[in-house]
Amino acid sequence: MYFAQPGAALITTQRQAFRWGYGHYLILGAAAAVGAGLEIGIALLEHHSDVSGFTAAWIFSTAVAVFLVLAWLLQSAPTAPAPPAPGCTPPSPSWSCSPPSPDRPTSPPAC
């Protein structure tokens, strides 16, 4: 999910770069909370913890949910697509870019 799209393709403005960069502090904090939740779960299984099973499961699942929501927000927040490069026709999400060849006449891009 996190590597679904390359990060450089999502960043087109300074605001998006700021959100992308500082959003990773939250992502890394959520990942650390997942690790802490795992540690609590292991301590519970080894009978070295005073928390209930429900509390340990709640801590872990909340940390995972926060991580997933933050990763989704970082991937989906930049919604404005970058303008197409010259020679590109965006008829679908997968743009086809081809340089003009000397064999065929050049036509204006359908952008």
For 34-80, write each residue's pLDDT tens digit.
Answer: 999 999 999 999 988 889 999 999 999 999 999 999 988 887 765 55
**Cβ count near 10 (within 10 Å):** 19
Q: What is the mean pLDDT of residues 3-20?
A: 76
Helix axes 14-45, 53-76, angle to 10 degrees: 160
Structure-model confidence comparison of residues 8 and 93, the more confident one: 8
Q: Is the pLDDT of residue 30 over 70?
A: yes
The whole-number pLDDT of residue 18 equals 86
Do the Cβ atoms of 20 and 46 come closer than 8 Å? no
β partners of residue 89: 96
**Residue 90, pLDDT score:** 56
